[in-house]
Amino acid sequence: MEIGNLIDYLFRWMHFFAGITWIGLLYYFNFVQTEYFKEAGDAKANAIDKLVPRALWWFRWGAMLTLISGLVLAGFIETMGVGINYYITLGMVLGTLMFLNVWLIIWPNQRIVIASNRQVLEGGEALPGAAAAQGKAGLASRTNTLFSLPMLFFMGASAHLGGTGRVPLALGEDGGSASILAIVLTLLIVALLELNAVKGKTGLITTVKGVIHCSVWLTAVLVVIVEFL
């Protein structure tokens, strides 16, 4: 067994484990917990106090380990001379934005929600910014769910799907890789969606059905742009 292959596989294994933990909890929050809280009544406050902090711990550190192992893998692939294709590049962009949403938006705002809930349980008043914080965290979480399907699709496509997105990037050359127009357009779409995550509204991704449908459509649109522009 070659040491290079062993290192590559160990970090891939780590990346898979961390990613499953992270994305699994993302789907739990969006598809299970959010819907439960709508009907939980008095049990909601206890869940926010006891359950949510534990789930968020695994959620945010799963995201951290996913990012770190992914960056190591990308660097390893580059040093092996394999070349980075646009599928994996787009997947990495989406994954990195999702990581930033977790640590810079979701977690800080959820800390406010948890603190406010604890204050109420102890007989005090809710924190003034708790409702707004919940909205910001919810929008970022819904956006991460929106990004998750195309992110997973392009991560897998980078090694298993043919097409121009699979060809190592060769900007400025006629090497059959993704075109500059395709790269600019896909990144622009992703950037606008991320801007909405910071300053916008949930809109079409408010409901579980809506975010799943939008995520599928986003995946299809990005694939078409990469392959045919």
Domain housing 64: 3-228
Tally of domains within the chain:
1
Q: Which amino acid is at 168?
A: P
Return the beta strands (E) in 68-223 as ranges.
Answer: none
Classified as helix, coil or strand, 43 is helix
H-assigned helices in 107-199 = 107-121, 130-160, 180-199
Model confidence band, residue 171 (pLDDT cutoffs 50, 70, 90): low
Tens of pLDDT, residues 48-106: 999 999 999 999 999 999 999 999 988 887 777 667 889 999 999 999 999 999 999 99
Partnered with residue 168 across adjacent β-strands are 85
Query: How far is it between the farthest Cα atoms of the chain?
Result: 68
pTM of the entire predicted model? 0.94
CA atoms within 13 A on the CB side of 93: 20
